[in-house]
Structure 1
């Protein structure tokens, strides 16, 4: 794999991780509130880019669970 392919794969993986974290947290909140599960499928990036705030909240951090 070239460096470009590796960097693209990394970006795609991070994008999917942020999306999955956001949707799983929305699903948990919807279940707690008794709302329909369809609300957890919300995903609205602008032109394929994740909002910086969303990335900060749902993105991976340096903290880890033990």
Structure 2
């Protein structure tokens, strides 16, 4: 793999992991406030970049 391909794969993985963490937090919050399973499992794909503030909240520290 070239350096560019490695960087792209790393960024795709990072985006995927951040998306999964966001989804998990959304589902837990929905369950806590009593939304039905269908509503708390709703996910709208992120278009473009993740908001930097949300990225910091969802990122591992």
TM-score surpassing 0.5? Answer: yes
| Secondary structure, aligned partner of 2:6 | helix
TM-score by length of 2: 0.82
TM-score by length of 1: 0.77
Equivalent residue for 1:26? 26
Conserved in 2, the CA contact under 8 Å of 1:19 and 1:43?
no
Gaps of 5+ in 1: 62-66
After TM superposition, the runs of 4+ consecutive aligned structure 1 residues lying more than 6 A away are none
Alignment length, in residue pairs?
A: 60
